Amino acid sequence: MIELLRTNDVVALSFVRALLSEAGIGHLVMDENMSILEGSIGVIPRRVLVEAESRDQAARILTDADLGHLLPSQGKRPS
């Protein structure tokens, strides 16, 4: 699995999860339970991971839903 995006925005994260689920793209959201350490202030971004072969499809779906700004720029794709 590779990182698709990182965000602190819980509303956007919920929308991303719904879009990926609806498209049948398997995904994991990492760092959700870090709020215990940070005191629920949302400073630690949540990471959305997808299978490598689904990354481009997932990115297109988010771009079509006007969430392309959440994706890292093409020059700095997460590894």
In the sheet where 46-50 sits, what is the strand order? 2-7, 46-50, 27-30
Q: Domains plus CATH for the chain? A: 2-72 (3.30.70.790)
What would the pLDDT profile of 5-30 be if each residue is shown by its tens digit?
Answer: 999 888 999 999 999 999 999 999 99
Q: What is the DSSP string of 7-20?
A: ES-HHHHHHHHHHH
In the predicted structure, residue 75 carries a pLDDT above the cut 70 = no
What is the model's pTM? 0.81
What would the pLDDT profile of 28-58 be if each residue is shown by its tens digit?
Answer: 999 877 755 655 566 788 999 999 999 999 9
Question: Do the Cβ atoms of 31 and 10 come closer than 8 Å?
Answer: no
What would the pLDDT profile of 56-69 be if each residue is shown by its tens digit?
Answer: 999 999 999 999 99
Q: How many angstroms separate the CA atoms of 53 and 43, rounded?
A: 30
